[in-house]
Amino acid sequence: GQNIDQPTEMTATEGAIVQINCTYQTSGFNGLFWYQQHAGEAPTFLSYNVLDGLEEKGRFSSFLSRSKGYSYLLLKELQMKDSASYLCAVKDSNYQLIWGAGTKLIIKP
């Protein structure tokens, strides 16, 4: 079966750095996505990786290792507004998005 694992919840301090990991086993791979979702809202796109390596976009970076079936989302200079759920999703061989359960990130002052 297809599976995406990420931690259920993480806590970090305002101004610090946090890394959210995601491992996946899917039938085929056509890219990995990270989305941010605030409670009661739809997900918003953060990043996309299809090749190995690090993609940097402002305070957020995403890393991919296809051979290891592994990705992480790195958030720097954390702000209170970064408190949200972060969803990892993989497009499989049919270009269908397979979603992880999400990681709830709690930012403390």
Partner 1 sequence: GAVVSQHPSWVICKSGTSVKIECRSLDFQATTMFWYRQFPKQSLMLMATSNEGSKATYEQGVEKDKFLINHASLTLSTLTVTSAHPEDSSFYICSAPREAQNTEAFFGQGTRLTVV
Q: Which segment (17-25, 56-64, 74-82, 94-102) binds partner 1 by CB under 8 A?
A: 94-102
Please, what's the b/e burial string for 62-82 (b: 16 or more CB within 10 A of its CB; e: otherwise)?
Answer: bbbeeeebebbbebeebeeeb
Selected from 21, 29, 48, 61, the binder of partner 1 by CB under 8 A is 48
Q: Closer CB to partner 1, residue 53 or residue 109?
A: 53
Residue 43 found at the interface with partner 1 (CB under 8 A): yes
Beta-bridge partners for 94: none
Q: Which of 58, 67, 95, 109 binds partner 1 (CB under 8 A)?
A: 95
- What is the full DSSP assignment across 28-60? S-S-EEEEEE-TTS--EEEEEE-SSEEEEETTE
Beta bridge partners of 65: 70
- Indicate the residue among 33 and 63 with the shorter CB distance to partner 1: 33
**Binding stretches for partner 1 (CB under 8 A):** 30-31, 33, 40-45, 48, 50, 87, 95-97, 99-102, 104
